[in-house]
Each structure stands twice: as structure tokens, then as C-alpha cells.
Copies of this chain bind each other. A is one copy, B any other.
Amino acid sequence: MQKQFEKKELKKKSDNLSDWYTDVILKAQLADYAPIKGCMVIRPYGFALWEGIQHYMDPLIKAHKVENAYFPLFIPEKFLNLEKEHVEGFAPHMAVVTFAGGEELKERLVVRPTSETIMYEMYKRWTQSYRDLPIRINQWNNIVRWEKRTYLFLRTSEFLWQEGHCAHNTHKESVSEVRWALDMYKETYQNLLALYGVAGVKSESEKFAGAKKTYTFEMLMPDGKALQGCTSHDLGQNFAKAFHWTVQDEKGQPLYPWQNSWGFSTRSIGGLIMAHGDDQGLIMPPNIAPIQVILIPIPGSSPKTIKYAIAQREALKKIGIRVKCDDKDGESAGFKFNKWEVRGVPIRLEIGDKEAEEGIVTAVARDTMQKKKVSIDEISGMLETIQQNLLETHKKFTLDHTHTVESYDHFKKIMAGERGFISAFWCEDASCETKIKAETKASNRCLPLDLPAGRQVPKEEKGTCVHCGKPATHRWLFAQAY
């Protein structure tokens, strides 16, 4: 552990979320600022979270017959220029290589801000007939989007992600892929990261640059602001047309493939940190926790007790629990408790002479801080309970801060106060969206798709736009966004 950790107390989440957020990331050694503006270093404890996400998600992607590959880091600028909306969206964030191998480049190379253009150029070369579709490829890589204002994990000029890119013979197939990806992301957030959220479709002005439709998963943070957790895009035939990519259909006619892309990034770790932590530090959901159980033999224990502690560690390892024993010399028990609380380890086991004699352990759950004597067999169940509690707590928080609103006064009042999700009728006119954002800071997050099973599109309702009063058919979700 760094000295900085020992010297300074952690800032309080209850005082200021933003200060705490940065402080806990640095002190728990998840990440650090890099000596390059807007970039961060993901330290081992933070990177283990990303590995956890990869280990969970990669098999789901492969089971869906999507194969991993690797495409170049550099994209010729002319490729990005081919799809008009796409280049307009990304131009302000591009980092450009102009000099390489000792000379000025004739063609400027953009460090990939996303890989649609380079991948589809290759797909075009690899396919001739409808029989060559679907083509389904994913890559885990690094992405660069230059940002003026950055925030550890949530917005950095370089980040890590996976990007899936598929092409199909029909729009229906492609849309089904888009929805599959959205469901997979939702499952990852809920089951792995214990984060509740709302899946939905973006409005025209908020969709991805070049997409026909963008799907999203939006989560509420403790300060009442929303975090976009991932996106999944129905690209229609936009890119195929821009790249003049056709395959022969069954009748020998040219067909523009229907495409989709979907991405999930290290930003998700920002959500995890922000939603679950408390004044004592991080709280790691057990399913993703790099260390699920920290075992601390009380300093001054007898050799017999130390032996007992080691035996408990081995027993836990044997049943697949990620456990670590902190028997470092020269640190007090209190110091160690504090250290692992900051790092959010779900369960702490204290083992002293008394525990060894009784053949039990004293366990402290990180979420409730409740202490109890248990046998080692109960640890798995405790981890499951913590995982479930964290998701339930976040779900309850989200629902408690989701406001169904009928008037613009009410809308403004909420945004001036506690914020949260606002469900309101909107006329689907972009000018209302813009004004709402300018006046309240709340942007349009999505049209929620959390629907009764079997229904694909929300039923039309009769309503009036919360801003202009014109007729509206659906309630959209608004919030101030990260």
C-alpha cells in the first residue's frame, strides 16, 4: 500500500460524492492519474475488475457465435469521412498521427475512436454472397476520444472496451442481435456488478453518430445523476451504403448488409464504484470482487491460531472463494481493517485465539458492517446475500428516485432539488428536448423498454408534452447525465 493511504483519511461520500469518488479510487489503488492529460493508469486492483468483466462477458459473446479478432489501431482519416454523421460526431475528439517512421505521413491516421469504418472495409472484402452472412466479430481493445474535461473511469481520453460488429441479410436479424447485446449488458450489470438500471431506446438527437437507432442501459447514481452504461446500435444500412458494400442476395441481386455494433467499456467500473461505496470506502459486489474474503489473524495470536487461520484460507480456496490472508507484520488490526474496508472487500474474517479454540471465525460483512461468529461453511451464503442486498439497495434507490411527472413546474422543482429519473410525456420534437436540457440540465436518457414479457415496443398512451403541451404518445426518461 502507498504511504498516502496511511497518512490521510478518506473523504466522506456523504459530504461530497465527487470528492469522495476521486479520493477512493486513488486510495484504494484502483487507478491513478497518468502524466498525459486526460489519461489514467488502471492499477492492478482496478484492472482485476476489468478482467472480471471480461471473464464474465467473453463466454456469453462466444456462445452467441461472435468471434474475437483484432483490427488496427489506426484508421485512415478518409474512412471516417465516408459516413457523414459519423465523422461529425467524432471529429472533435480525434487524436491524429501525422508523423511516423521519421517522416511526415502523406495520409493522416486517426487513433480509433471506434472501429466501424475499418472493420466494414474488411467485411466488404471478405463477403460476396448472402451465404457469407451473418458475419459476427468482437474485439477487446483500447479507444481514444480526446476529452477536455475528464473524470477517472467515467470519461478519459483513452479507455478500454469491447466492440461487437455484426452484419446480416435482414434488418430483423440485425435488430434481434442489437437486443441480444442489450440484454447481455443488462445481465452483466445486474448479476455481476449488482447495478439496477433501465434499458431503453435513445431519441434521435441522442443516438450514436451514424446509427439508425441506439439502445442504452441507464443507471441512477447517488447524486441523482444518470450514467449511460453501454450502447447497442442498429446501424441500418448506413455504413454499407457509405462503403458501397453489397453482397449478392438469393436472387443474385445486390443487397446492402444490415449492421449493428455494441460496446461496453471501463466506464462501467465508475458506476460500480459510485453506486455501492460508503464513507468507509468501496463496497465490491462479491461476484466481481478481486478479493471476496480478507482473512486477518489478530496480531499477537498463538502459532496454533495462525495455523488455524491458514487452514481456513485453504478451505475457502478449495470451494472457489477468492481469499487473501493479510498476515503482514508491523500493522495493527485496526489499520488492516481500515485498509480492506477502503478497498471494499465484501467479507472480513477476524481470527484470534478464541476463534481458533471454538473452531469458528468472526465475520464482518462490508455492506452492513454487521459482525457475527460463523462457521466457514456459511461464507458462500453470506457472499450471495451481500450480492443480492447490493442489487436490491440500488434498485430501491433508483425506484425511490424515479418521479412520474405531469407538469413542467414539477419537473423543474425536482431537477432543482434531489434530481433522479423523471418519467414524462414528450412530443418527440428535438427543440423541446434542447430547451428542457438548457433550462433544467436534464437530458433525454431513453424511452424505457422494460416491458411485460413479449411486448417489444411500449404501448401508445394519450398524453401531452411536459414542455410544450402538444400531444405525446410515450413517457420518456429524463435525467442530468454524467
CA distance A141 to B42 in the complex (A): 13
Tell me how far the C-beta of A111 lies from the nearest C-beta in chain B, rounded to whole angstroms.
7
Residue on B with the closest CB to A108?
A: B99
Q: How many angstroms from the CA of A36 to the CA of B110 in the assembled complex?
A: 11
* Measured CA separation A34–B93 after assembly (Å): 23
Contact of A310 with B by CB under 8 A = no
Inter-subunit contact B101/A36 (CB<8 Å): no
Determine how close the nearest CB of chain B comes to the CB of A475; give it in whole angstroms. 37
Considering only CB atoms, which chain B residue lies closest to A94 in the complex? Answer: B100
Give chain B residues whose Cβ lies under 8 Å from the Cβ of A93: 101
Is A57 located at the chain interface by the 8 A CB criterion?
Answer: no
Once the chains bind, are B121 and A35 in contact (CB under 8 Å)? yes
Report the contact-size class of chain A (Cβ under 8 Å from the partner). 35 or more
Check A449 for interface membership: any CB of B closer than 8 A: no
A122 within 8 A of B: yes
Q: Mark A106-149, 1 if CB is under 8 A from B, else 0.
A: 00110100000010011001101000100001000110101110
Inter-chain contact B99/A96, CB cutoff 8 Å: yes
- Within 8 Å by CB of A99, from B41, B98, B144, lies B98
Residues of B within 8 A of A69 (CB): 41-44, 46-47
Decide if A109 touches B36 in the complex (CB within 8 Å): yes
Q: Contact between B122 and A41 (Cβ–Cβ < 8 Å)?
A: yes
Q: Which residues of B contact A72 (CB under 8 A)?
A: 34, 36, 39-41, 158
Do B102 and A96 touch (CB < 8 A)?
Answer: no
Assuming the contacts A76-B35, A142-B142, A158-B73, asked whether A91 and B99 have C-beta atoms less than 8 A apart, the reply is: no
Interface: A253 (CB within 8 A): no
Q: List CB contacts (< 8 Å) of A144-169 with chain B.
A: 144, 146-148, 157-158, 160
Whether A34 lies near B126 (C-beta < 8 A) is no
Most-contacted residue by chain B among A42, A75, A147 (CB, 10 A): A42
Q: Are B73 and A142 in contact (CB under 8 A)?
A: yes
A379 close to chain B: CB less than 8 A: no
Closest beta carbon of chain B to A166's beta carbon, Å: 13
Most buried by B among A3, A67, A73: A73
Q: How far is the CA of A95 from the CA of B95 in the complex (A)?
A: 12
Taking CB atoms, residues of chain B closer than 8 Å to A3 are 128
- Among candidates B40, B74, B146, residue contacting A158 with C-beta atoms closer than 8 Å: B74
A370 within 8 A of B: no
Cα distance A72–B37 when bound, in Å? 11
A316 in the interface, Cβ–Cβ < 8 Å? no
CB-CB under 8 A from A44, the residues of chain B are 67-69, 137
Would you call A48 an interface residue if the criterion is a C-beta within 8 Å of the partner chain's C-beta atoms?
yes
A97: which B residues are within 8 A, CB to CB? 95-98, 111
CA distance A193 to B39 in the complex (A): 37
Please give, as numbers and ranges, the residues of chain B lying within 8 Å of A147 by CB-CB distance. Answer: 101
User: Given known contacts A102-B91, A102-B92, A137-B44, is B125 in contact with A32 (CB within 8 Å)?
Assistant: yes
Closest-CB distance, A3 to chain B (whole angstroms)? 5
Mark A70-93 against chain B: 1 for CB-CB distance below 8 A, else 0.
111111100100000000000111
Closest B residue, CB atoms, query A3:
B128
B residues less than 8 Å from A368 (CB atoms): none
Asked whether A73 and B128 contact (CB < 8 A) given A44-B68, A118-B34, the answer is: no
Query: Contact flags (1/0) for A48-63 with B, using CB distance below 8 Å?
Result: 1011000000000000
Say if the beta carbon of A456 comes within 8 Å of chain B: no
10 more CB-based (< 8 A) A-B contacts, given A41-B72, A47-B69: A32-B126, A34-B122, A41-B69, A41-B70, A72-B158, A73-B111, A97-B97, A100-B146, A101-B146, A142-B142
15 of the cross-chain contacts (CB-CB < 8 Å) are: A2-B126, A32-B125, A41-B70, A41-B72, A42-B71, A47-B70, A48-B68, A51-B68, A73-B73, A91-B102, A92-B102, A96-B99, A100-B146, A101-B148, A142-B142
The 7 closest A-B pairs by CB, nearest first: A101-B146, A44-B67, A95-B100, A42-B70, A39-B72, A96-B99, A100-B146
